[in-house]
Amino acid sequence: MTKAKKLLLTTFCLLMLTSIVLAGCGSKNKDQVESADKGTAEQPVELLWYTIGAPQKDLNKVMEKVSEYTKEKIGVTIKMKMFDFGDYNQKMGVIAATGEPYDIAFTSSWAFDYVTNAKKGLFYPMDDLIEKYGQDMKKAIHPSFLAGAKIDGQTFAIPVNKELPAQKVFRFNKQYVDKYKLDINSVKTLQDLEPLLAKVKEGEKGLYPLSGDKNFKFGLYYDLINENLPLGVSLNDNGDLKIVNILEQPETMRDFTTMHEYYQKGYLKQDVASAANGDEMKTGKWFVDMPDTQPFADNLWSQSLGYPVVSVPYTEAYVYNWSVLGSMHAISASSKYPEKAMQFLNLLNTDKYLRNLVNNGIEGEHYKRIDDQTVEYLPAKTERYDMPTFTLGNFFILDKMPTDPKDKWEKFAEFNNSAKNAPLLGFSFNPDSVKTEIAALQNVKEEFYPSLFTGSVDPKVYVPKAIEKFKAAGLDKVQAEMQAQLDAWKANKK
């Protein structure tokens, strides 16, 4: 055998040996992943679940009960970590940046942004997992939620099956409605509040009747493409889908002016533009605010606050992108146990016992059962177990409160099916070409929105300043890019 042939044969053998070794390693890794995803009741795997909301004193105790159940059902135990509403974005951003492992996380259009993080590759593509492990859940969740969760045809998070549309209301503290015999049904607009605010302000010394903080927003007349930017399409759009700067619209200026008048009259606290959530909800020292509603929300709010509230509609009910994506669960792209995570999400959204255990806590300690459909929270010895229901899974298998009507979930279904679709529903803006401008524009928004929306400054002076600064930061370029993508989407839709 020549030297050249020997060298060729040696090289071939080395290549074959390397291929065998690599194939063996690949096979081992695949087996490791599969075995890692095969938790059993005897050897369960632990899933780490990050979610949003005020951390609860009894959380670990409740999760122990959850784990007892899920261990037997699907071979997993659950460890939940909660970050408060004001901290969640920042803390999850750090976790994502450092690659800290987790399995399930709350995501939405407003916290740990769903679209942005899915496009970054942080979330596990779910469609195959849903087909294999999520069929029960798929049947339980409203189709519009599942359709709205898709990004470029793929699903990266499971929406909470709750109220589908968004609708703002004027929510009133009932003790003052009754005390001053106020006609709340006469209130249809922001301007209609004035005589009621004046009466309560006059009668309740030291009380600021309009409750708000730095995140306060009154109802807008536009479907915003990005909630951090003043760009949107009129809710009464006739099909043109023309994007406008809402700061330049007369109805926005009118409402800014009304809020400034309310601020000058002392209807809002002086530091409202910089204030975080105050304690007025706990003390009951407030008269009106403007949250988003759902069927029988007054009952839920009254139960949670510990005193009665009543509400009247402020805006119409619309299904927006952000309302569809308002509360979701994603599986981390780096999760060791994506199949188990999907099995857990399927169980959470279909198993009545599990869903109510996470939401209500432990029977006999946190609540008592009235009948097979109804529970009542027990008085707390120190701090009540009070989870944010809308973040936790399918509403339609939740127990009802004693004040809830028997047809509560039927009314929810009617509410979901009767709402109008907002003009931009289904449109997803790709910000890649204007990322720098959007970052700069968000800084301008943080500078001006709190003071304008709370009425703390004169809009005749500050709206022109805001518009000038937004334009200097690249608003026109972003608007043009948004319009181009929207036009292409509209043409493709046709």
Within this chain, do residues 93 and 154 fall inside the same structural domain, yes or no?
yes
Within this chain, do residues 249 and 357 fall inside the same structural domain, yes or no?
no
Within this chain, do residues 294 and 374 fall inside the same structural domain, yes or no?
no
- Quick one: pLDDT band at residue 202, thresholds 50, 70, 90? very high
Within this chain, do residues 186 and 292 fall inside the same structural domain, yes or no?
yes
Beta bridge partners of 329: 106, 158
Per-residue model confidence as pLDDT tens digits over 343-387? 999 999 999 999 999 999 999 999 999 999 999 999 887 788 999
pTM for this predicted structure? 0.76
pLDDT score recorded for residue 11: 36
Is position 21 within any domain?
A: no
Is position 227 within any domain?
A: yes
Mean pLDDT of the region 184-196: 98
Within this chain, do residues 253 and 370 fall inside the same structural domain, yes or no?
no
Within this chain, do residues 195 and 305 fall inside the same structural domain, yes or no?
yes
- Quick one: pLDDT band at residue 37, thresholds 50, 70, 90? low
Tokens encoding 448: 């001006």
Is position 352 within any domain?
A: yes
Nearest CA to 64 among 385, 357, 387, 384?
Answer: 357
Within this chain, do residues 187 and 261 fall inside the same structural domain, yes or no?
yes
In angstroms, the CA 293 to CA 415 distance is 11
Contact yes or no for 229/322 (Cβ under 8 A): no
Within this chain, do residues 338 and 315 fall inside the same structural domain, yes or no?
no
- Quick one: pLDDT band at residue 277, thresholds 50, 70, 90? confident
Mean pLDDT of the chain: 90
- Quick one: pLDDT band at residue 282, thresholds 50, 70, 90? confident
Within this chain, do residues 178 and 311 fall inside the same structural domain, yes or no?
yes
pLDDT score recorded for residue 33: 44
E-strand spans in 318-381?
A: 318-319, 328-331, 367-371, 374-377
Within this chain, do residues 85 and 69 fall inside the same structural domain, yes or no?
yes
Positive or negative: CA dihedral 90, 92, 95, 98? negative
Is position 5 within any domain?
A: no
CATH at 353: 3.40.190.10
Per-residue model confidence as pLDDT tens digits over 248-274? 999 999 999 999 999 999 999 999 999
Within this chain, do residues 336 and 242 fall inside the same structural domain, yes or no?
no
DSSP 8-state secondary structure symbol assigned to residue 229: S
> Where do the H-state alpha helices sit in 187-337?
194-203, 250-264, 280-283, 297-305, 321-324
- Quick one: pLDDT band at residue 449, thresholds 50, 70, 90? very high
Is position 2 within any domain?
A: no
Domain count, the chain: 2
Q: Is the pLDDT of residue 49 over 50?
A: yes
CA distances from 62 to 324, 358, 359, 393, 433 (A): 29, 7, 10, 16, 46
Strands 244-245 vs 158-159: parallel, antiparallel or unpaired = unpaired
In angstroms, the CA 159 to CA 178 distance is 39
Is position 39 within any domain?
A: no
Among 418, 436, 457, the domain boundary falls at 418
Q: What whole-number percentage of the chain has pLDDT above 70?
A: 92
Range 480-489, long-range pairs (CB < 8 A, 24+ positions): 481/433, 481/434, 482/225, 482/231, 482/243, 482/429, 483/242, 483/243, 485/427, 485/429, 485/430, 486/225, 486/233, 486/241, 486/243, 486/424, 486/427, 486/429, 487/241, 489/426, 489/427
Within this chain, do residues 393 and 455 fall inside the same structural domain, yes or no?
no
DSSP 8-state secondary structure symbol assigned to residue 123: B
Nearest 10 degrees: Cα torsion 41, 161, 331, 322: -170
The domain in which residue 380 lies consists of: 45-161+322-418
